Structure formats: C-alpha cells, structure tokens
Amino acid sequence: METKEIDIISLVNKVLKAKKTLVICFLTSLILGIGYALGQQKTYTASVMIAPEANSMGMSQSLSDIAGAIGMSLGNNNQGVDAIYPEIYPEIFASNDFIIKMFDIPVLTKGIKKTYYDHILQDSETPYYKKPMVFLTQLFKKEEPKSNNNKLNPFQLTKQQDNVCSTIRSNIDCQTGKGNSVICISVADVDPYVAACLADTLQKRLQEYITLYRTQKARQDLAYAQKLNNEARAIYEKARQKYVSFADANTDVMLTSYQAKIEDLENDMQLKYNNYSSTKQQVQQAHDKIKENTPAFTIIQQASVPLKASSTPRSIIVIMFLLFGVFVDIIWVLLLNDTIKKIKL
C-alpha cells in the first residue's frame, strides 16, 4: 500500500513539474470553453402534466395499472381494445405528421406575431464558430425554391422544412410515467413565453388527437345512423302525405273498399313511423356512445413561463472544458510525452 502511495505522489509531482504544458492546456481549454459558452443560446423549458381518465378497458386496464406499479407487464392484451396507449405518445410527438401541423401555430416573440415555423428560422441563432461552415455550405449548395407554408407538401418536404422538423423534434418531448397514465409534455425554446404557449398548445392538441381516435368508430356509427334516420324520415313523410291526401280526397266516402284502402295506408304509415322512431333512437345511442368514449383529462400542472434557463450554465461549460484540459495534460505528461521521446531515440 505504501509503494502505491509513493507512486501516486510521484506521478502527481511529475504532472505539476511540467508547468509549461499545464499552463498551455489550462489556457487553451479556458479560451475554448469561454468561446464555446458564449456561442450557446440560452433555452427555456416549459412543462405540462396531465392525467387521462381510465379508458373503457375496464378491469383489464385496472390490472394493467396495478401490474405497471409493481414493475410487471401484462403484454399486449389491451392492444386489441385500444391501439393508442400512453407508451406510444412520444412516437406520435416525433412523427412528421404531428410536427408539420405545428408550423402554423401563431407565437408572439419580442412583440412580433409570427408562425412557429418563421420563429424557428428567424430567432434561432447559429453559434459564431459554425457560421464559416454554414457560409461555405450555402455558397456551394444548389438553389432551392423557397418553401411556402400555404403549399406545404408533407409527402415531399424541402431541405429547409426538414431541418425545421428536426429542430422542433429536438425541442419537444412527451414522457409517460411508469405504473400510471400521467403524461408530461415539455417544450424548449429560446423565448420563455413561446415555450409556455407551445406547451399549452401541444397539451390541447394531444387531447384532441386522443379524443378523435377514441371516438372515431362512434362518429362513423353516428354518421351512418343519421343517414338511415334521414332516409327513414323521408319515407315516413311520404307515406304520411299519401295517407293524408287520400283521406282528404275521400272524406264523405263510406265504401268498404275505401275503408280497406285507408286502413292499408294507415298501417303502412305506422310501419314507416316505427322504423323512423327506431332509427331516431339509434342516432341518440350513437351520440351517447361518443360521449361515453370521449376521455376526460385532469391537468396536474399547467404551463407557466419559465423564469430560469434550462440550458447548461456557461460557467459549468467552462469548468468542463478546464477539466478536459487537465485530463489532456495528464495524458500528455504521463503517457504520450515519454512515448514520443522513445520513438525519436
């Protein structure tokens, strides 16, 4: 143990004796760290937490929640009932279809109202140390027609639109808690007010997306029931008009044939009315089914404008560069320097 301690002390002394190398590595890492830190734009993160109600899966969903709480999984038993479950919400957020719909979200930054798409392009600063590379890229790249948000083609995005999609994808996040259905939505942006507004907007859009999915079948059933009801009503109105017209035209007729005819028309009208009433009930049942399948959400934490930046503080960045510089100095003095000298000899 004593020999190892002496060896460590000797190694430390060896590093400290190479003062010139230590100073060079320290100053170089300090300058690089300060330069890198000054080029980073501050970002702010706003978060929203919501909890959807237990869906119509009943007992199977309850068992799934209990299993999740103790770290177990019941497999895909619930997927046949509900294909969109909390675990795939992050995938929805990362999809181009979802992100492209964020292009036209209005935001207010520095007193100027613009779309989120324009905000990403205009207000995201490129670090100064990347500007030469960006300039060279712009200089030699082929001319590309400017994108028009009004004529956005999701099937074939331009290079600029694809870059904006990638930026938005890295700025938004959706996480679900294990063992529960709590959804946490977070948005990072250079403007704290924009981050809060977007977090609130994404929360509403996710709720709308889930609601539309959960009620899709019920809304299709409602449209079909409404169609049958309209047809049944038209048929009933036609039969009723035929009965009334025949009755009014033969008010004073007492013939047996007339009585038989009026009874046939009345029976036919009643059958048509019964069918109309039945389809009307189906429409009401379809409305009830939509209400039943519409999920309710509890907002646990509302979006608020963040006061502190969420990006890594510049002082921490400089310290990390200094530590890296010290590490490089140690590697150079203890390993590389002696190795190079031996090679030269």
Q: Provide the pLDDT for residue 19.
A: 79
Contact 109, 192 (CB under 8 A): no
Q: Which of 37, 10, 12, 15 is nearest to 26 (CA)?
A: 15
Tally of residues, the chain: 345
Q: Provide the pLDDT for residue 344.
A: 61
What's the token pair of residue 143?
A: 């001319």
- Name residue 134's amino acid: V
- Residue 147: phi and psi, rounded to 5, are -75, 150
Contact 45, 310 (CB under 8 A): yes
Instruction: Report the distance separating Cα 233 and Cα 135, nearest Å.
Output: 69
| Ramachandran assignment for 50, one of left (phi > 0), alpha (psi -120 to 50 degrees), beta (any other) | beta
Q: Provide the pLDDT for residue 213.
A: 84
Q: Where are the alpha helices (DSSP H) in 148-307?
A: 159-171, 192-214, 216-249, 256-293
Which three-class secondary structure state does DSSP give residue 104? coil
Q: Provide the pLDDT for residue 66.
A: 41
Instruction: Report the distance separating Cα 109 and Cα 149, nearest Å.
Output: 19
Q: Provide the pLDDT for residue 146.
A: 54
**Cβ neighbours of 89 (radius 10 Å):** 20
Residue ranges of the domains in the chain? 2-38+318-344, 43-215+295-309, 218-292
DSSP string computed for 39-73: HSPP-EEEEEEEEEPP-TTTHHHHHHHHHHHTT--
Q: Whose structure tokens read 């946490």?
A: 184
Task: Give residue-wise pLDDT tens across range 184-238.
Answer: 999 999 999 999 999 999 999 888 888 888 888 889 999 999 999 999 999 999 9
Residue 22 CB contacts under 8 Å (≥ 6 apart), including other chains: 15, 16, 326, 329
Q: Provide the pLDDT for residue 135.
A: 62
Low-confidence stretches of the chain (pLDDT < 70) are 1-7, 54-84, 126-151, 179, 251-254, 337-338, 341-345
* CATH no. of 43-215+295-309: 3.30.1890
Q: Provide the pLDDT for residue 145.
A: 54
What residues does 333 pair with on adjacent strands? none
Q: Provide the pLDDT for residue 61.
A: 46
